[in-house]
Structure 1
Amino acid sequence: MALQQLTGAPRSRAQLAEKLAAKDVPAEVAVEVLDRFEEVGLVDDKTFAEGWVHSRSSGRGRRALAQELRMKGVDDETAAEALEVVDDASQIEAAQAMVQRKVGAMRGLERAVRERRLFAMLARRGFPSDVVVRVVREEIQGEA
């Protein structure tokens, strides 16, 4: 059952434990299976977190990625290590790309409305406020 879960996509140990519990697998059996999976390298939260951050960092800020990892059952220390690759420059690039894709559809709106919508979009995606303000203001001023 646990192997089947791993064939579709990588999973954290907590996700697999949750699936096993949902199928009424006794806790001691689940722990034994998951321990063995870790020993042979089938389950590795560090690798899972790094892959998650790599695949999702182009559309999310550090805060959103950290929250997603927490929801996947990755501990804070492991998540922090995986998030080290997301620096300010990469967040700025990702935010700029998102704003540039969205701003074209907003050309007819007032400046304040465009700013508010872009601020909200980036904030929902977990970008830090200093990045949000900088990127939106640069884009809006670049249009004028």
Structure 2
Amino acid sequence: MAVARTIVLRKLAAQARTRHELARALAARQVPEDVAQSVLERFEAVGLVDDATFARDWVESRQQRRHLSKSALRRELQTKGVDRDHIDAAVSHVDGGDETAAAQALAEKKLRTVVGLPREVQYRRLAGALARRGFSGSITASVLGPLLDASADADEADEPLMPG
């Protein structure tokens, strides 16, 4: 029992974890199933393991720093073993405006890497980056059109006028 508690505490000291992740860590260290369940239930009872809070914090953090869509956030939480109800509750806090803002921030960041390329290439590469983060085609179109228009207008303003 003490070994199991130590394993869980070390994992939690490094970063927040889901019950599923901790159960896998205990299983990997050959902790008996009944001991693992007992320790995990105790950690849940005292609030050190809370999948609902983990999911909410994960969504907030990942959307701000990694600019992920709802679907990408949902997939990540599923791979961490979070229950569907907790995932739904956490992702419900992300509204369309938040998702569009995340797509906008990612597109602006990636725009620097495609400056100077033809517009259709810029669009294709930026759309691919957004798609890989799980953004829908409608969000992608709503973000990239105005962004590339503004970028083109800025480029034209920087070009020196040709003598006539």
TM-score of Structure 1 vs Structure 2, range by shorter chain: over 0.9
How many matched pairs?
A: 144
Q: Secondary structure at the match of 1:100?
A: helix
Q: Is 1:97 matched up with 2:112?
A: no
Corresponding position of 1:138: 146
Deviation, structure 1 residue 105: 2.7
Corresponding position of 1:113: 121
Deviation, structure 1 residue 102: 1.7
Does the aligned pair in 2 maintain the 1:63–1:128 contact within 8 Å? no
Corresponding position of 2:42: 36
- TM-score (normalised: structure 2): 0.84
What amino acid is the match of 1:57?
Answer: Q
What amino acid is the match of 1:42?
Answer: L
Gaps of 5+ in 2: 1-6, 153-164
Does the aligned pair in 2 maintain the 1:49–1:79 contact within 8 Å? yes
Corresponding position of 1:24: 30
Per-residue Cα deviation, 1:65-120 (whole angstroms, up to 9, x for no partner): 00000011101111010011111101111111111122133121111111011111
Query: Quick one: percent identity of the two aligned structures?
Result: 43
Aligned counterparts, 1:2-81, within 5 A? 2-58=8-64, 59-81=67-89
Structure ID, larger Rg: 2
What amino acid is the match of 2:11?
Answer: Q
In structure 2, C-alpha distance between the alignment counterparts of 1:8 and 1:44, rounded to whole Å: 16
Deviation, structure 1 residue 62: 0.5
In structure 2, C-alpha distance between the alignment counterparts of 1:75 and 1:129, rounded to whole Å: 28
In structure 2, C-alpha distance between the alignment counterparts of 1:76 and 1:111, rounded to whole Å: 40
Does the aligned pair in 2 maintain the 1:100–1:139 contact within 8 Å? yes
Q: Which has the higher contact order (CA 8 A, sep 6+)?
A: 1
Q: What's the Cα RMSD here?
A: 1.0
Deviation, structure 1 residue 63: 0.6
